[in-house]
Amino acid sequence: MLKKLLGIAPILESDGSYSPSKLALKLGTVSKTDYENISYEKYQGKKSKILVIFTEQKNMNMQNGKLFSTGNHPVEALLPMLHLKNAGFDFEIATLTGKPVVFEMWAFPDKDDHVKAIFDEYQSSFAKPKKLQDFVDNSLTDTASYAAVFVPGGHGSMLGIPENENVGKVLNWAHQNDLFTVSICHGPGSFLTTTLNNGEFIYKGYNMAVFPDSVDKMTPKIGYLPGEMPWGLSEKMKSLGVNLANTKSDKTVCLDRKLITGASPLASNELGKLAAQTLLGALK
């Protein structure tokens, strides 16, 4: 009751999951982003496609048994997409089984016309995405058409994706064929797939921006998460030989070889700019 009065009690949803408290929403989300509408010299070549791997899962089971209402963070997905679209790239939207993309709609910036526009433009693809298995079966031979793979963040990107063999096949394909890989916040959990079936972690020794476990451990105190995380991402990356470029959930972005990463939702605009400029420079 006291937590409710203070606005720090997570909000119970109709399916029994919890979304962030009123205070957490006030501190951790925005109604309008810091997106910069930049006019890039548009890419005109054949490698114009970017595969975006979204989550189709909504609820994360926390250590205390409570469910966190999650999905992909809309700002982390849509701001980088806005920059890349302005730079002349297009997207193939995929989930693991072809079920609809799940967004953390409680984090949607409802007063941001640019974000709303690209969300509406790709709404049919979010509702009926490609099945990742079909991409693996049909597109891994088509390196000439693709520039990058993008795995957006949101805690939902830690559900199913880090254990999925097809994600591992796609990331290895991108790595072996000099395509770029872009990810942000909790999205780098997808990189764990490269270790499946006794595979070698392909990003060992890389510099990388990842959402810090230390922040995830603090956020239950303000009701952002309804309990402790089931496992920690940044420490897992560190244990595999990653050099973490950030210690806070800030605007840090990082480019290392063909890997482009960002630390948190606050880095979404910077990640989009870095990805767009890097891809344009590399594909001239």
Which sequence positions are flagged as catalytic?
185
279: Cβ contacts below 8 Å, ≥ 6 apart? 43, 84, 87, 89, 147, 148, 180
Query: What tokens were used for 205?
Result: 């020794």
Is residue 216 within 8 Å of residue 229, measured between CB atoms? yes
Q: Phi and psi of 53, rounded to 5°?
A: -100, 110
Length of the chain: 284
Q: What is the DSSP string of 5-59?
A: HHT-SPEEPTTS-EEPPHHHHHHH--SS------------SS--EEEEE-----E
Q: Which amino acid is at 116?
A: K
Tokens 């989300």 found at: 29
d(CA 95, CA 192): 17
What's the chain's Rg over C-alpha atoms? Answer: 18
Pick from 211, 215, 166, 223: nearest CA to 25:
223
d(CA 89, CA 271): 15
Helix (H) or strand (E) holding 151: strand 146-151
| Helix, strand, or coil (residue 269) | helix
E strand intervals along 161-282: 180-184, 207-208, 243-244, 253-256, 259-262
